[in-house]
Structure 1
Amino acid sequence: MTEMFVSSYSTCSIKCRTVVCFFAGVLTYRNNFEDAASEVARRYPNAKILMIFPYGKAIGISGSSLVRLLARQLTQVGYDLVREQSQRVMEAGQIIHEHAAGAKQLILIGHSAGGVIAYKAGLYLEEKFNYRGIHVFAVGCPRFYLKDIPYNDRFTYITGQNPDRITRIGSWRKPGSRVYRGRPGREIQLDFNPDHQGWRFHASYFLKSAWTDSNEAFHTNSVDLISKIHELHPKK
């Protein structure tokens, strides 16, 4: 069942000008987005920040229970990848609708499989509740079939400079289909901490994870990521 909480970094609780929603993928812990949320709060005044876990949180689980959780979550992800709408998409859409009433700016940010839910929940909100101007950012997300629709112009796909096996899964276009021929409006590659490799790289996009580049410039993953999102979609 979809879980949600409001981040303590929120700078607004009701009648918020901006609502920013983070969507988690599989095996994600409650604090995974907090570093990024602190950056959102710095750049977007009067903002409510929601943390949405469509596949549940991985808290206090280990051993065989963790394996069973992963198996269940992966089955759910497979379902969401190939269907336009699922119970998780509708639940996420309803949650956002309850918290974003009157907002001037709605930004959905998904990590891994959470990017799939973010995209489809935004589309659900536009079609069911007539929301306009939703912006979606999917980070380290598998690819999934996209219709060629105007909504995609507000969909940004972000990957890192290192190979991430999750981003190699799937495709945007369905071979032979006249319907699924869409692409994201933007596909962007950012530099993230190169010390992380493999699954650690995939898990680190939203973490503080400080590093210094070849020009001795200081970076942190969460700051660079949210800076890019804010650059593409500044506060209103």
Structure 2
Amino acid sequence: MTETFVSSYSTCSNNCRTVVFFFAGVLTYRNNFEDAASEIALRYPNAKIVVIFPYGMANGIAGSSLIHLLARQLTQVGYDLVREQSRRVVNAGQIIREHAADTDQLILIGHSAGGVVAYKAGLHLEEKYDFRGIHVFAVGCPKFYLKDIPYNERFTYITGQNPDRITRIGSWRKPGSRVYRGSPGREIQLDFNPHHQGWRFHASYFLKSVWMDSNEAFHTNSVDLVSKIHELYPGN
């Protein structure tokens, strides 16, 4: 079940210049994007920030129920990876239309499988409702077949310096296909907190995870990530 809420870091509620949507992947909790949302608010004035959980939240779920939730979510992710559209994509598109019908700048930021839904929801809005200028950022996302279309020019794929097993899943191009031969407009590798390994690394892209590099300069995952997004798309 798709769940959503407007972040408390929003600086606008109606007729907003910028609307930013975060899309969650599997086993994600309500506060996962709040550190990044606070950075969005600093860089994009007059912005509404909305968080979408296409596969539902993991809050309040534990034990065997958490295992059942993960199994259901993984099945849904597998469907979304290979289909052009799903109920989750359509639901996300409807939520975007409700919050961003008249905005000047629309930014979709997806984490893990949420990146798949973000990309496809944006494409759905462009094709069916004539939305224009949507910018999509997928972070730590599995790869999926892409058509070679102009929309991809506004699709940025971001990974980290450590091997992330999720980003090894899938491919952009379908072997032998004359249709699915596309790729993201940009593929970027950023440095994130190297002390996180494995699943912790995958889960930490949007968190306020502070670390020091070899030059003794301090970094924060959420700050560095949102800074890069703003650098690539500062808006109007």
Query: Does TM-score exceed 0.5, indicating one fold?
Result: yes
Deviation at 1:154, TM superposition (A): 0.2
Partner of 1:47: 47
User: What are the residue-to-residue correspondences of 1:125-136 with 2, within 5 Å?
Assistant: 125-136=125-136
State the alpha-carbon separation in 2 of the partners of residues 60 and 223 from structure 1. 28
1:148-205, CA deviations, whole angstroms, 9 ceiling, x for partnerless residues?
0000000000000000000000000000000000000000000000000000000000
The one-letter amino acid of 2:64's match is S
Helix, strand or coil at the partner of 1:180: coil
Partner of 2:96: 96
Partner of 1:13: 13
Question: Is residue 196 of structure 2 the alignment partner of residue 203 of structure 1?
Answer: no
State the alpha-carbon separation in 2 of the partners of residues 19 and 186 from structure 1. 22
Partner of 1:65: 65
The one-letter amino acid of 2:146's match is L
State the alpha-carbon separation in 2 of the partners of residues 106 and 2 from structure 1. 20
Question: Is residue 46 of structure 2 the alignment partner of residue 34 of structure 1?
Answer: no
User: What are the residue-to-residue correspondences of 1:32-181 with 2, within 5 Å?
Assistant: 32-181=32-181
After the TM superposition, which segments of 4 or more aligned residues of structure 1 sit over 6 Å from their partners? Answer: none
The alignment's TM-score, normalised by the length of structure 1, stands at: 1.00
Contact residue 22 and residue 108 of structure 1 kept, 8 A: yes
Cα RMSD, aligned residues only? 0.4
Contact residue 28 and residue 57 of structure 1 kept, 8 A: yes
Helix, strand or coil at the partner of 1:188: strand
Contact residue 145 and residue 182 of structure 1 kept, 8 A: yes
Deviation at 1:101, TM superposition (A): 1.6
Deviation at 1:129, TM superposition (A): 1.0
Partner of 1:22: 22
Partner of 2:193: 193
State the alpha-carbon separation in 1 of the partners of residues 235 and 42 from structure 2. 11
Gaps of 5+ in 2: none
State the alpha-carbon separation in 2 of the partners of residues 68 and 142 from structure 1. 22
Deviation at 1:102, TM superposition (A): 1.0
State the alpha-carbon separation in 2 of the partners of residues 36 and 111 from structure 1. 12
State the alpha-carbon separation in 1 of the partners of residues 35 and 111 from structure 2. 14
State the alpha-carbon separation in 1 of the partners of residues 203 and 55 from structure 2. 16
State the alpha-carbon separation in 1 of the partners of residues 59 and 35 from structure 2. 18
State the alpha-carbon separation in 2 of the partners of residues 94 and 196 from structure 1. 36
Contact residue 43 and residue 235 of structure 1 kept, 8 A: no
Percent of pairs with identical residues: 85
The one-letter amino acid of 1:57's match is M
Gaps of 5+ in 1: none
State the alpha-carbon separation in 2 of the partners of residues 184 and 107 from structure 1. 16
Partner of 2:223: 223
The one-letter amino acid of 1:87's match is R
Deviation at 1:11, TM superposition (A): 0.2
Helix, strand or coil at the partner of 1:181: coil
Helix, strand or coil at the partner of 2:22: strand
Partner of 1:213: 213
Helix, strand or coil at the partner of 1:219: strand
Contact residue 22 and residue 33 of structure 1 kept, 8 A: yes
The one-letter amino acid of 1:182's match is G
Contact residue 11 and residue 45 of structure 1 kept, 8 A: yes
State the alpha-carbon separation in 2 of the partners of residues 184 and 62 from structure 1. 37
Deviation at 1:235, TM superposition (A): 2.9
